[in-house]
Amino acid sequence: MSEASTPVFQIQRVYLKEASLEQPNSPAILLEQQQPSVDIQLGVEANQAADGVFEVCVTATVHTKIEDKTVFLVECKQAGIFEIRNLPEDQMGSVMGIACPQIIYPYLRGNVADMVTRAGFPPVHLAEINFQAMYEQQQAEALEKAAAPQVQ
């Protein structure tokens, strides 16, 4: 195998791309005694930054509420830059949808827990994620959507 065709997978950098915290109903909501409900949404996106260089982002949104009032809302986007070269095209999706997010996710978990703690709340520890199952589900949904008849 020549050096030009040797597969390359390297992490160039992992960084916090975006972070926001809102407590729109403080301080009144902090006096409530009820347990808040917690809604957590995750997303993965990948974009080519240069030839053979890709940015992969994992986003978490944590929204806690008491009844219809927000206690806090955290949005955090953790990103990584990866050099990926000489991989078969059919493997690129799974590398960027599974391998890269698995590398980035622990940083995202730490940043979310830290932001929530610094805001004065008990930390929110995001659960471990099976990115392979998540990727396979997204692929299945995309196939299903593509197979569905188009209504005009």
Confidence of residue 144 (pLDDT cuts 50, 70, 90): confident
Express each pLDDT in 29-75 by its tens digit. Answer: 888 888 999 999 999 999 999 999 999 999 999 999 999 999 999 99
Whether the pLDDT of residue 4 is over 80: the answer is no
Whether the pLDDT of residue 5 is over 70: the answer is yes
Smallest Cα–Cα separation from 55: which of 87, 111, 103? 103
User: Which CATH class for the 3-145 domain?
Assistant: alpha beta
pLDDT of residue 66: 93
pLDDT of residue 140: 87
